[in-house]
């Protein structure tokens, strides 16, 4: 069973009496344990697809299935519960609360989940240690570098032990060297935990280190490359192009 399946995913907006077709019938399967990069120009529909896949936005038409569950058949509360249990998020601008310490930011997703606090804190400490931040657990975001803040954000995305992690330009606010380090870190987590990663990026060099690259253009899926040995295309297909 795939980790995620998008079926005819469509999202249209009305803007200044015109219809903007952000997504236009995208069909895509992501297998359990894949590390997938999504690329395309600005306005291609990358973030809209990610928001629909993460249940942050409802599509105009089409279906989002997570682990075989048709999320369109769920109530708002059920969707929120599914999102909190199964999906972790990494954002471009870190989205850390400035008044909280690193470990408190990591623990935020558990605040309303009913999880055991002691077990949660042990898990947060373990994750920060894996991120190389055990000595920074009590530091606030303003006391951390951009790369360190994003490592806290990655730890936060994993605190609930999700099956799927979604990243929207997670390396977009750091320099090239730090971006490479963050990607290496995420790839290590992926190998060790087999969590499925779906990452939006504009950086084709970083995307080439994924298992698979999805290409979007004007709301359509126009390419799907499976990579071998980080950077060598195995096969490429095009679908949904106009």
Which residues are CB-neighbours of 62 under 8 A, at least 6 positions away? 6, 7, 8, 9, 10, 23, 25, 26
Higher local confidence (pLDDT), 19 or 75 = 75
- Assess contact for 23 and 58: CB atoms under 8 A: no
pLDDT > 60? residue 54: yes
- Assess contact for 168 and 52: CB atoms under 8 A: no
Cα–Cα distance for residue pair 136/225, rounded to 1 Å: 39
Reported pTM: 0.88
Q: What is the pLDDT of residues 121-151, one digit of tens each?
A: 999 999 999 999 989 999 999 999 999 999 9
The secondary structure element, H or E, covering residue 146 is helix 146-158
Q: What is the pLDDT of residues 191-232, one digit of tens each?
A: 888 899 999 998 888 899 899 999 999 999 999 999 865 444
In the chain, the domains with their CATH numbers are 4-237 (3.40.50.300)
């Amino acid at each position: 069973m795939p980790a995620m399946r998008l079926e005819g995913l469509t999202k249209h907006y009305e803007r200044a009496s015109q219809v903007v077709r952000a997504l236009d019938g995208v069909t895509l399967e992501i297998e359990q344990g894949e590390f997938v990069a999504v690329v395309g120009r600005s306005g291609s529909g990358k973030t809209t697809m990610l928001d629909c896949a993460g249940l942050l936005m409802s599509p105009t038409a089409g279906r989002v299935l997570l682990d075989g569950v048709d999320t369109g058949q769920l109530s708002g509360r059920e969707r929120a519960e599914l999102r909190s249990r199964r999906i972790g998020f990494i954002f471009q601008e870190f989205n850390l609360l400035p008044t909280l310490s690193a470990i408190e930011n990591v623990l935020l997703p558990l605040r309303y989940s009913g999880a055991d606090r002691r077990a949660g804190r042990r898990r947060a400490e373990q994750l920060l240690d894996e991120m190389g931040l055990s000595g920074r657990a009590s530091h606030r975001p303003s006391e951390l570098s951009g790369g360190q803040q994003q490592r806290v954000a990655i730890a936060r995305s994993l605190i609930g032990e999700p099956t799927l992690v979604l990243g929207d330009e997670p390396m977009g606010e750091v320099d090239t060297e730090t971006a490479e380090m963050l990607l290496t870190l995420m790839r290590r987590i992926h190998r060790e935990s087999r969590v499925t990663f779906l990452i939006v990026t504009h950086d084709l060099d970083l995307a080439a280190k994924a298992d698979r690259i999805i290409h979007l253009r004007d709301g359509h899926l126009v390419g799907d490359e499976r990579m071998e040995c980080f950077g060598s295309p195995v096969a490429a297909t095009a679908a949904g192009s106009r």
